[in-house]
Chain A
């Protein structure tokens, strides 16, 4: 086992251990925090597929996070108010079942990512950063001014949605569910990085001309990566909405996009477990510092600066050294 792999394993184990200890100490809020880490890490794992593997610096991933959130909000809202979502051309009812909600969230955010990606990927570099930001803002303003689902007020769901065989209202069970989803997605994203598609995508990041010369189309590779990335972040959005039992346009805000990106940088770009480490560190800082001072964001800013300037490779990079995995 390489040092990086050991750190990854330790980081990964830390979440369930924290939750377990919190359960033993009867500190349900710590479990809630661990759940939050798992969900935000999932969002960042999604972005990392575009950013780390594809080199696509998207400053608009909050769009998919928000779409996932609203998929949950809208379906559950109709279910709890016993109103159909749509009557014509055929009847669609709301639902409180997580698997169905997840499926809708994944499909909706994947479709959005496909559309946004198809347009945005015509540009590169700074233009790509900015156009994704613009699409995010577009959805943000749309969500605010769209009256049907609460606008700026957002939507409250009174009871957390259900999952067959679990009582999701119990914090530790909901944590277990989110953690399992994270584990599955991490596994899949690790496999993705080593797959045929992953090889072509990472090669396209390093040298698009090369990829074209072997007969592959970088645009298509990136579009698929962006779509998968958006779908994963969308799933995280649905879980986040369920954690809070609430959705609002702030899920679409550009600060949200920035935060998801921060998790990746804090943890280490392109590293499989980077998002987990980054999200855990950020939530820990938020939790500890916000109790010490009202101006805690100054310290977060300063820390982030230090990481970017001096600890390239993020948390995992600093711990694991300059070791590179040859796989």
Chain B
């Protein structure tokens, strides 16, 4: 395999990882601050994608579509938080898993009810449709560069938000000690709604960005959700830094595993079966990674004590 191709694959892994980060950041924030496992996070991703597709179809503007995705997902998140989620904060994980599993059913079938069973159309904006040539002669899709850029920007913004702003102080206080923020005179229920909506908006943004290059369909959220869980578990639940590192690890493992493992097995066995075995192992690679991390660090790479 040529170096150029390898670099391109690393970029692909990076792009995948950055997209996972957008999902994982919200999940990990919500868990860190409210102690809630939200299986319905993938549904908010889907809401973002559908809102973007519907808006793009109506207005033709990709920017408006992204804005719509953010608003729709944040609004859906806030509504769900106000009606359902806030009753779950002092419940055990089991109740949270079940209630948010139920939300997935409601969101998925509700979306199908409204938009029908066929995938929706959402395309990348014309200006970003083609590839650009990177230094070193790598041709890379402009839109994927945009995703990498936006993901890194959001990551930087989140770090700033958490380290520099009042909200950030409250969030960190909430992560350290849930009772303390009450003592600080913070309106907890407002903070919770805000954090949940923020997490939802990030998921919605991810859904819209990815929807343009993948298919916008019911059920698109669940595979990503499971990957995002793998990410935050590897990174350590509650840690934004962990989510970032975990996302990149998972993105790179998945992409490079799919590319390199078949070649690796080709060293031992003949080509056609090496491809099959390699593909099989690659499909399990991130789960093996996760199990490995947890066996050596049961609370993830950047996780504190449980």
Q: Which residues of A contact B (CB under 8 A)?
A: 51, 57, 59, 119-120, 122-127, 129-131, 133-135, 137-138, 141-142, 144-147, 254, 258, 261-262, 265, 269, 295-298, 300-305, 308-309, 312
- Chain B residues contacting A301 (CB-CB under 8 Å) are 102-106, 109
Asked if residues B109 and A298 are in contact (CB atoms below 8 Å), the reply is: yes
> With the chains together, A155 CA to B207 CA distance in Å?
36
Residue of A nearest to B233 (CB): A130
- Chain A residues contacting B99 (CB-CB under 8 Å) are 304-305, 308-309
Asked if residues B31 and A134 are in contact (CB atoms below 8 Å), the reply is: no
Asked if residues B284 and A142 are in contact (CB atoms below 8 Å), the reply is: yes
Interface residues of B in 200-232 (CB under 8 A from A): 226, 229-230
A123, A137, A308: the one contacting B294 at CB < 8 Å is: A123
Interface string of B268-306 (1 = CB under 8 A from A): 000000001001100110011011001100111001001
Asked if residues A261 and B97 are in contact (CB atoms below 8 Å), the reply is: yes
> In this complex, which of B102, B226, B287, B288 has the most chain A Cβ atoms within 10 angstroms of its Cβ?
B102
List 6 additional A-B contacts (Cβ < 8 Å) besides A57-B94, A302-B102.
Answer: A124-B306, A126-B237, A134-B287, A135-B291, A296-B109, A304-B102
Asked if residues B102 and A308 are in contact (CB atoms below 8 Å), the reply is: yes
- Chain A residues contacting B101 (CB-CB under 8 Å) are 258, 261-262, 304
> With the chains together, A312 CA to B108 CA distance in Å?
25
B88, B230, B276, B279: the one contacting A134 at CB < 8 Å is: B230
Tell whether B169 is near chain A: CB-to-CB under 8 Å: no
> In this complex, which of A119, A127, A129, A147 has the most chain B Cβ atoms within 10 angstroms of its Cβ?
A127
29 contacts between A and B (CB under 8 A): A119-B291, A119-B295, A122-B294, A126-B31, A126-B37, A134-B287, A135-B291, A137-B226, A141-B284, A141-B287, A145-B283, A261-B98, A262-B98, A295-B109, A295-B110, A295-B112, A295-B113, A297-B105, A298-B109, A298-B113, A300-B105, A301-B103, A301-B104, A302-B106, A304-B99, A304-B102, A308-B98, A308-B102, A309-B88
Closest chain A CB from B167 CB (angstroms): 24
> With the chains together, A147 CA to B73 CA distance in Å?
41
B95, B287, B299: the one contacting A138 at CB < 8 Å is: B287
B103, B280, B288, B291: the one contacting A305 at CB < 8 Å is: B103
Closest chain B CB from A56 CB (angstroms): 10
- Chain B residues contacting A129 (CB-CB under 8 Å) are 37, 93, 97
The size of the chain B interface, using a CB distance under 8 A, is: 44
- Chain A residues contacting B190 (CB-CB under 8 Å) are none
> In this complex, which of A145, A254, A305 has the most chain B Cβ atoms within 10 angstroms of its Cβ?
A305
> With the chains together, A105 CA to B118 CA distance in Å?
40
Asked if residues B102 and A131 are in contact (CB atoms below 8 Å), the reply is: no
Asked if residues B298 and A123 are in contact (CB atoms below 8 Å), the reply is: yes
Given contacts A141-B283, A298-B113, A304-B105, contact A127 B294 (CB under 8 A): yes
> With the chains together, A82 CA to B44 CA distance in Å?
51
Tell whether B84 is near chain A: CB-to-CB under 8 Å: yes
- Chain B residues contacting A305 (CB-CB under 8 Å) are 84, 99, 102-103, 106
Q: Which residues of B contact A (CB under 8 A)?
A: 31, 37, 84, 87-88, 91, 93-95, 97-99, 101-106, 108-110, 112-113, 226, 229-230, 233, 237, 276, 279-280, 283-284, 287-288, 290-291, 294-295, 298-300, 303, 306
Closest chain B CB from A223 CB (angstroms): 15
Closest chain A CB from B96 CB (angstroms): 9
> In this complex, which of B105, B230, B283, B303 has the most chain A Cβ atoms within 10 angstroms of its Cβ?
B105
> With the chains together, A146 CA to B300 CA distance in Å?
30
Residue of B nearest to A259 (CB): B101
Asked if residues A145 and B229 are in contact (CB atoms below 8 Å), the reply is: no
- Chain A residues contacting B300 (CB-CB under 8 Å) are 127
Asked if residues B230 and A297 are in contact (CB atoms below 8 Å), the reply is: no
> With the chains together, A301 CA to B101 CA distance in Å?
8
Asked if residues A297 and B299 are in contact (CB atoms below 8 Å), the reply is: no
- Chain B residues contacting A302 (CB-CB under 8 Å) are 102, 106
- Chain A residues contacting B106 (CB-CB under 8 Å) are 298, 301-302, 305
- Chain B residues contacting A262 (CB-CB under 8 Å) are 98, 101
Residue of B nearest to A305 (CB): B102
> With the chains together, A305 CA to B284 CA distance in Å?
32
Residue of A nearest to B96 (CB): A308
Asked if residues A130 and B229 are in contact (CB atoms below 8 Å), the reply is: yes
Closest chain B CB from A127 CB (angstroms): 6
- Chain A residues contacting B109 (CB-CB under 8 Å) are 295-298, 301
Given contacts A57-B93, A133-B229, A137-B226, contact A146 B280 (CB under 8 A): yes
Asked if residues B98 and A304 are in contact (CB atoms below 8 Å), the reply is: yes
B88, B104, B276: the one contacting A147 at CB < 8 Å is: B276
Residue of A nearest to B237 (CB): A126
- A-B residue pairs, 9 tightest by C-beta: A301-B105, A304-B102, A145-B280, A301-B106, A138-B287, A141-B283, A298-B109, A308-B99, A123-B298
> With the chains together, A21 CA to B167 CA distance in Å?
63
- Chain B residues contacting A124 (CB-CB under 8 Å) are 298, 306
Residue of A nearest to B238 (CB): A126
> With the chains together, A120 CA to B280 CA distance in Å?
23
Residue of B nearest to A144 (CB): B283
- Chain A residues contacting B298 (CB-CB under 8 Å) are 122-124, 127
Asked if residues A134 and B291 are in contact (CB atoms below 8 Å), the reply is: yes
Asked if residues A131 and B290 are in contact (CB atoms below 8 Å), the reply is: yes
> With the chains together, A138 CA to B283 CA distance in Å?
8
- Chain B residues contacting A312 (CB-CB under 8 Å) are 95
> With the chains together, A59 CA to B225 CA distance in Å?
14
> With the chains together, A137 CA to B229 CA distance in Å?
12
- Chain A residues contacting B280 (CB-CB under 8 Å) are 141-142, 145-146
> With the chains together, A145 CA to B276 CA distance in Å?
8
